[in-house]
Amino acid sequence: MKCKIFLAALLGLAALPAFAASGDLQVTVAGVRDNEGAVRLALYRNGKTFGRESRALTIREAMAREGEVTIAIRSLPAGRYAILAYHDRNSNRKFDRRLGLIDAEGQGLSNNPASDAGRSFDTAAFDFAGAPGAAVRIDLNYCHPGPDEERSLPRSLKCWVTLSD
């Protein structure tokens, strides 16, 4: 009898991973300025690795398209995640900064936190249940003005202050 109970418990434990929720997450990156380069996103599971692309859980990339680009992350287990996305205009697969301080490419975070909230896992984190149809929208922010925008010092200072936090 004890053997049958042990065997039933063992089979039950073996089946647990099959019931763990996972699904596809559709990430729409909005506000892409032009068709140059690529849009990249990095998915993180904790604050220790957040912002370090080389330590991201996964990285996805798609050709840039003015307006919106949608990228799917397939078979993602349920959990708490944060996404950092950027418009890699020169396709060098890294986030460029001017003078090492001011963002040179458009970037955004999941949850679209206000710029004064800083860039952290906690401000960007969201819960993913693995349910079908799950989606996240990230709005890109560019520190430098586009060709049709007026150049202004306060905008650049705001980006610098955000980086300094």
All domains of the chain, ordered by start, with CATH?
20-95+106-143 (2.60.40.2990)
Amino acid at 30: A
What is the value of pTM for the model shown? 0.77
pLDDT digits (tens, 9 = 90+) for 91-109: 887 776 666 656 678 899 9
> What pLDDT does residue 7 have?
46
> pLDDT > 90: what percent of the chain?
56
pLDDT, one tens digit per residue, over 11-24 is 454 444 445 689 99
Task: Say which range, 46-55, 112-121, 141-150, 156-165, has the weakest mean pLDDT.
Answer: 156-165
pLDDT (0 to 100) of residue 19: 54
pLDDT for res 18 = 47
User: Which residue from 92, 48, 56 is spatially nearest to 76, judged by alpha carbons?
Assistant: 56
* Residues 6 or more apart in contact with residue 99 via CB below 8 angstroms: none
